[in-house]
Amino acid sequence: MMAVQSVPDAFTAAECDRIVATTANMPNDDALLVGRNRDHNIRNADLVWMDDVGDMSWVTTRLIEVVRSSNKDQFDFDVREFAESPQVASYEATKGGHFAWHSDIGDGLAAGKRKLTLVLQLSKPDTYDGGDLQIRPSAHILSANRAQGSVSVFPSFVLHQVTPIKRGIRRSLTVWAHGPAFR
Protein backbone atom coordinates (compact mmCIF):
# COMPACT_ATOMS: atom_id res chain seq x y z
CA MET A 1 0.00 0.00 0.00
CA MET A 2 1.32 3.45 -0.94
CA ALA A 3 1.16 6.01 1.87
CA VAL A 4 0.63 9.07 -0.35
CA GLN A 5 -1.02 9.40 -3.72
CA SER A 6 -0.58 12.40 -5.97
CA VAL A 7 -3.37 13.17 -8.43
CA PRO A 8 -1.94 15.71 -10.88
CA ASP A 9 -4.36 17.92 -12.79
CA ALA A 10 -7.34 16.95 -10.62
CA PHE A 11 -8.53 20.55 -11.09
CA THR A 12 -7.68 23.01 -13.84
CA ALA A 13 -5.87 26.29 -13.16
CA ALA A 14 -9.11 28.14 -13.98
CA GLU A 15 -11.04 26.02 -11.45
CA CYS A 16 -8.42 26.69 -8.76
CA ASP A 17 -8.56 30.41 -9.52
CA ARG A 18 -12.37 30.27 -9.29
CA ILE A 19 -12.18 28.68 -5.83
CA VAL A 20 -9.67 31.32 -4.67
CA ALA A 21 -11.76 34.18 -6.09
CA THR A 22 -14.97 32.85 -4.55
CA THR A 23 -13.44 32.47 -1.09
CA ALA A 24 -11.19 35.57 -1.15
CA ASN A 25 -13.71 37.98 0.37
CA MET A 26 -15.14 35.57 2.92
CA PRO A 27 -14.37 36.33 6.57
CA ASN A 28 -11.45 34.51 8.16
CA ASP A 29 -12.71 31.79 10.51
CA ASP A 30 -10.12 32.47 13.24
CA ALA A 31 -12.90 33.22 15.74
CA LEU A 32 -14.05 29.60 15.60
CA LEU A 33 -10.60 28.11 16.16
CA VAL A 34 -10.15 26.87 19.70
CA GLY A 35 -7.48 25.31 21.85
CA ARG A 36 -4.31 24.26 20.08
CA ASN A 37 -5.46 25.69 16.73
CA ARG A 38 -5.30 29.23 18.15
CA ASP A 39 -1.63 28.71 19.01
CA HIS A 40 0.14 30.43 16.13
CA ASN A 41 3.29 28.50 17.01
CA ILE A 42 1.48 25.41 15.71
CA ARG A 43 -0.58 26.92 12.87
CA ASN A 44 -0.84 30.35 11.38
CA ALA A 45 -3.28 30.49 8.47
CA ASP A 46 -6.52 32.16 7.50
CA LEU A 47 -9.34 29.64 7.01
CA VAL A 48 -12.60 29.74 5.08
CA TRP A 49 -15.02 26.84 5.37
CA MET A 50 -16.68 25.98 2.02
CA ASP A 51 -20.10 25.50 3.70
CA ASP A 52 -20.05 29.26 4.28
CA VAL A 53 -19.58 30.00 0.56
CA GLY A 54 -22.21 30.08 -2.21
CA ASP A 55 -22.79 27.13 -4.53
CA MET A 56 -19.49 25.30 -4.61
CA SER A 57 -21.02 21.82 -4.77
CA TRP A 58 -19.08 21.14 -7.99
CA VAL A 59 -15.89 21.18 -5.88
CA THR A 60 -17.23 18.51 -3.52
CA THR A 61 -18.44 16.42 -6.47
CA ARG A 62 -14.94 16.48 -7.96
CA LEU A 63 -13.32 15.67 -4.61
CA ILE A 64 -15.65 12.69 -4.18
CA GLU A 65 -14.43 11.37 -7.55
CA VAL A 66 -10.79 11.82 -6.47
CA VAL A 67 -11.25 10.08 -3.12
CA ARG A 68 -13.22 7.24 -4.68
CA SER A 69 -10.49 6.55 -7.22
CA SER A 70 -7.57 7.02 -4.80
CA ASN A 71 -9.16 4.86 -2.13
CA LYS A 72 -9.87 2.09 -4.64
CA ASP A 73 -6.36 2.22 -6.12
CA GLN A 74 -4.26 2.72 -2.99
CA PHE A 75 -5.89 2.58 0.42
CA ASP A 76 -9.02 0.38 0.54
CA PHE A 77 -10.36 2.15 3.65
CA ASP A 78 -14.01 2.03 4.64
CA VAL A 79 -14.89 5.61 3.64
CA ARG A 80 -18.48 6.74 3.41
CA GLU A 81 -18.78 10.54 3.47
CA PHE A 82 -17.32 13.98 3.85
CA ALA A 83 -18.72 14.78 7.30
CA GLU A 84 -16.93 18.14 7.52
CA SER A 85 -16.84 21.09 5.19
CA PRO A 86 -13.76 21.52 3.00
CA GLN A 87 -11.57 24.37 4.22
CA VAL A 88 -9.52 26.81 2.17
CA ALA A 89 -6.34 27.87 3.97
CA SER A 90 -4.19 30.87 3.14
CA TYR A 91 -0.64 30.80 4.48
CA GLU A 92 0.92 34.26 4.12
CA ALA A 93 4.62 35.12 4.45
CA THR A 94 3.79 38.49 6.04
CA LYS A 95 1.84 36.67 8.78
CA GLY A 96 4.36 33.88 9.39
CA GLY A 97 2.14 31.29 7.70
CA HIS A 98 2.88 27.65 8.53
CA PHE A 99 1.42 24.50 10.11
CA ALA A 100 3.73 22.42 12.33
CA TRP A 101 3.83 18.60 12.27
CA HIS A 102 0.43 17.12 13.08
CA SER A 103 -2.04 14.42 12.06
CA ASP A 104 -5.67 14.93 11.03
CA ILE A 105 -7.10 12.01 12.96
CA GLY A 106 -9.32 14.48 14.82
CA ASP A 107 -10.71 14.72 18.30
CA GLY A 108 -14.13 14.79 19.87
CA LEU A 109 -16.80 13.43 17.52
CA ALA A 110 -14.32 13.20 14.61
CA ALA A 111 -11.82 11.06 16.56
CA GLY A 112 -10.73 8.15 14.43
CA LYS A 113 -13.38 8.76 11.78
CA ARG A 114 -11.21 10.84 9.46
CA LYS A 115 -9.73 8.21 7.17
CA LEU A 116 -8.20 10.11 4.25
CA THR A 117 -6.94 13.68 3.96
CA LEU A 118 -7.13 15.36 0.55
CA VAL A 119 -5.17 18.57 -0.08
CA LEU A 120 -5.79 20.51 -3.30
CA GLN A 121 -3.01 22.90 -4.33
CA LEU A 122 -4.75 26.16 -5.31
CA SER A 123 -1.74 28.45 -5.79
CA LYS A 124 0.69 28.50 -8.70
CA PRO A 125 4.02 27.18 -7.38
CA ASP A 126 6.01 30.21 -8.51
CA THR A 127 3.89 32.67 -6.49
CA TYR A 128 5.42 31.71 -3.13
CA ASP A 129 8.58 30.32 -1.53
CA GLY A 130 8.55 27.83 1.33
CA GLY A 131 5.12 26.53 2.22
CA ASP A 132 5.85 22.96 1.23
CA LEU A 133 3.32 20.35 2.25
CA GLN A 134 5.55 17.65 3.71
CA ILE A 135 4.18 14.23 4.56
CA ARG A 136 5.92 11.71 6.78
CA PRO A 137 4.42 8.26 6.14
CA SER A 138 7.59 6.56 7.47
CA ALA A 139 11.12 7.62 8.41
CA HIS A 140 11.33 9.50 5.10
CA ILE A 141 9.67 12.86 4.44
CA LEU A 142 7.88 13.34 1.12
CA SER A 143 7.09 16.72 -0.42
CA ALA A 144 3.68 17.00 -2.06
CA ASN A 145 3.25 18.06 -5.66
CA ARG A 146 3.24 21.88 -5.82
CA ALA A 147 1.56 22.06 -9.23
CA GLN A 148 -1.64 24.08 -9.21
CA GLY A 149 -4.64 21.73 -9.41
CA SER A 150 -2.86 18.67 -8.00
CA VAL A 151 -4.38 16.77 -5.08
CA SER A 152 -2.37 14.85 -2.49
CA VAL A 153 -4.23 12.02 -0.74
CA PHE A 154 -2.92 10.29 2.37
CA PRO A 155 -4.21 8.55 5.51
CA SER A 156 -5.36 11.13 8.05
CA PHE A 157 -3.23 9.56 10.79
CA VAL A 158 0.01 10.29 8.88
CA LEU A 159 2.11 13.19 10.19
CA HIS A 160 2.37 16.20 7.86
CA GLN A 161 3.20 19.90 7.94
CA VAL A 162 3.27 23.08 5.88
CA THR A 163 6.74 24.61 6.13
CA PRO A 164 6.98 28.35 6.85
CA ILE A 165 6.14 30.65 3.94
CA LYS A 166 9.09 32.87 3.03
CA ARG A 167 7.51 34.88 0.18
CA GLY A 168 3.96 35.26 -1.13
CA ILE A 169 0.83 33.30 -0.23
CA ARG A 170 0.14 29.56 -0.46
CA ARG A 171 -3.52 28.62 -0.77
CA SER A 172 -4.85 25.10 -0.48
CA LEU A 173 -8.15 23.32 0.06
CA THR A 174 -8.33 20.43 2.53
CA VAL A 175 -11.13 17.93 3.10
CA TRP A 176 -11.36 14.65 5.00
CA ALA A 177 -13.08 11.44 3.92
CA HIS A 178 -14.80 9.80 6.90
CA GLY A 179 -15.84 6.30 7.80
CA PRO A 180 -16.32 4.10 10.84
CA ALA A 181 -13.67 4.76 13.52
CA PHE A 182 -10.36 2.96 13.15
CA ARG A 183 -10.04 0.07 15.58
Which range scores top for mean pLDDT: 9-13, 20-24, 44-48, 59-63? 9-13
- Residue 56 belongs to domain spanning: 5-178
CB 176 within 8 A of CB 86: no
CATH assignment at residue 25 = 2.60.120.620
Exposed, middle or buried by CB within 10 Å (0-12, 13-18, 19+), for 110? Answer: middle
In this prediction, residue 109 has a pLDDT band, given cuts at 50, 70 and 90, of: low
115-144 pLDDT tens trace: 999 999 999 999 999 999 999 988 899 999
59-99 pLDDT tens trace: 999 999 999 999 999 999 999 999 888 999 999 999 999 99
Which of 115, 134, 120 lies closest to 74 in space, CA to CA?
Answer: 115
**Domain presence at residue 37:** yes
pLDDT in the model for residue 54 = 76
**Domain presence at residue 183:** no
Supply the pTM of this predicted model.
0.90
